[in-house]
């Protein structure tokens, strides 16, 4: 009964050990993902701070300030969330390692007890009779051979037990060392998070100050917001009209239906569209350095939640003099110039279009073939507030899609 109990105990220890190792592997991968995301958010905050310093001398509108604060608060909140997830995961890893240490210590104790019993047995055996006498007392050659094999196996097992003890001791030391390292990493994460939370509180207080000023004359700001949205809708409608006209013209040339919402493609254009689709989520940013200030889709306005912002693309804040880059191979379909609007470059990639809005300089012309990351222009910098904002849109035919799904780590 004692033998069965001991065997069951060893199986239980092995199961716990394997479970700890499996969990450790899974948690390690998740920890790497979280650390990558944390570093991305830290770089994002650094970019925001750099752009703030660059535009410090400019007097921004209250609406622009609120957008600034909202964006930074959002990034800081995400950073705190990710760091908390890391700390919680580390806590689980620490607990797992503590369990692993307990298992290893129990295993080591059992191994040492078995080894000690073997040493005592071997010593007693030597006192009672020598190995030679043990062999000579055999009844026949076959028995003597078996006894010789037994002596050799017993000796080998004793040596193996000794080596196993050494290995487990080294493993236990390694796990202990890893545990101490994890505790230090967690300590640093907690300290970093406290600092980020202090920064977040400062941003929120400044946000409240600006909001108080706005609320004193809310009707004026609401009027400005509505005016800006009407202007944005007008530009979007004009762009949509131009895209539909381009589709109709292209399809008519190919003898296809002019009323279609998407381009009829040649064999070459199909390959280009297929390559564009294959790179979904991997396309480069349209500027080398930038942070998304307004995301795609309909969303509540930060000033008045009853108002909505309809965004057909993304707004990317970048540095003064930033060059605009084509996100993929294609052909310049149009250079749009509209009333009270800075130039827009439209590039076609088969049945997909990318639009680069709010440029001060344009380096390409209609019909030009462009390559991925080729400079096609320069982003306009507002002389009043120092902001350099690129408006970027992707559409499939006449229907816009979310750029965050296509651009790498947007």
For the record, the structure tokens of 225 come out as 């917001």
Q: Are residues 248 and 186 in the same domain?
A: no
Q: 307 with 179, same domain? A: no
Question: Are both 167 and 185 inside the same structural domain?
Answer: yes
Tokens of 8: 């069951």
Same domain, 124 and 209: yes
Distance of CA 152 to the CA centre of its chain: 57
pTM: 0.68
In a domain, 236, yes or no: yes
In this structure, the answer to whether residues 232 and 379 fall within a common structural domain is: yes
Residue 50 lies in a domain: yes
C-alpha distances in Å from residue 104, one per residue of 41, 333, 365: 39, 67, 70
pLDDT number for residue 128: 43
Domain final position from 196, 215, 234:
215
Q: How many domains is the chain partitioned into structurally? A: 2
Pick the closest to residue 168 from 108, 118, 114 (CA basis): 108
Q: Could you report the average pLDDT of every consecutive run of 10 residues in the chain (410 residues)?
A: 51 57 67 89 86 69 82 92 91 81 76 68 54 60 69 65 72 78 89 94 92 87 88 92 91 81 91 97 95 90 85 93 97 92 96 97 97 98 88 96 95
Is residue 291 one of the residues assigned to a domain? yes
d(CA 96, CA 93): 5
Domain of 312, in residue numbers: 222-405
Contact (CB, 8 A) for 107 and 168: yes
How high is the pLDDT of residue 127? 45
For residue 142, is it within any domain? yes
Do 288 and 188 fall within a single domain? Answer: no
322: left (phi over 0), alpha (psi -120 to 50) or beta: beta
Distance CA 207, CA 202 (A): 9
Query: Do 110 and 155 fall within a single domain?
Result: yes
């Amino acid at each position: 009964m004692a033998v069965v109990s001991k065997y069951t105990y060893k199986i239980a220890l092995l199961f716990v050990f394997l479970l700890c190792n499996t969990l450790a592997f899974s948690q390690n991968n998740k920890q790497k993902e979280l650390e990558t995301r944390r570093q991305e958010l830290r770089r994002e905050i650094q970019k925001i701070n750099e752009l703030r310093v660059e535009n410090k001398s400019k007097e921004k509108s209250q609406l622009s300030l609120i957008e600034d604060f909202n964006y930074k608060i959002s990034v800081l909140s995400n950073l705190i969330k990710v760091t908390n997830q890391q700390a919680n995961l580390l806590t689980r890893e620490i607990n797992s390692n503590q369990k692993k240490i307990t298992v290893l210590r129990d295993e080591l104790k059992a191994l040492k007890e078995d080894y000690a019993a073997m040493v005592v047995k071997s010593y007693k055996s030597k006192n009672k009779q020598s190995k030679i006498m043990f062999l000579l007392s055999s009844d026949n050659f076959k028995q003597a051979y078996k006894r010789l094999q037994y002596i050799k196996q017993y000796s080998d097992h004793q040596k193996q037990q000794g080596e196993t003890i050494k290995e487990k001791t080294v493993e236990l030391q390694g796990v202990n060392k890893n545990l101490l390292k994890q505790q230090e990493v967690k300590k640093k994460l907690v300290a970093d998070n406290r600092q980020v939370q202090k920064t977040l509180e400062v941003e929120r207080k400044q946000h409240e100050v600006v909001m108080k000023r706005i609320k004193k004359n809310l009707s004026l700001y609401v009027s400005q917001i509505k005016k800006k949205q009407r202007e944005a809708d007008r530009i979007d409608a004009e762009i949509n009209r131009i895209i539909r006209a381009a589709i109709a013209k292209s399809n008519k040339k190919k003898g296809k239906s002019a009323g279609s919402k998407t381009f009829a493609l040649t064999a070459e254009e199909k390959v280009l569209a297929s390559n564009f689709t294959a790179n979904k989520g991997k396309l480069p940013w349209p500027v080398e350095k930038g942070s998304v200030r307004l995301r795609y889709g309909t969303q509540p306005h930060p000033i008045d939640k009853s108002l909505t912002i309809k965004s057909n693309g993304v707004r990317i804040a970048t540095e003064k003099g930033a060059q605009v880059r084509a996100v993929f191979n294609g052909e310049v379909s149009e250079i749009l110039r509209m009333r009270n609007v800075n130039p827009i470059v439209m590039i076609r990639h088969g049945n997909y279009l990318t639009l680069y809005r709010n440029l001060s300089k344009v380096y390409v012309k209609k019909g030009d073939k462009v390559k991925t990351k080729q400079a096609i222009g320069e982003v306009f910098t507002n002389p009043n507030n120092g902001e350099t904002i690129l408006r970027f849109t992707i559409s499939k035919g006449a229907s816009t899609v979310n750029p965050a799904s296509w651009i790498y780590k947007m």
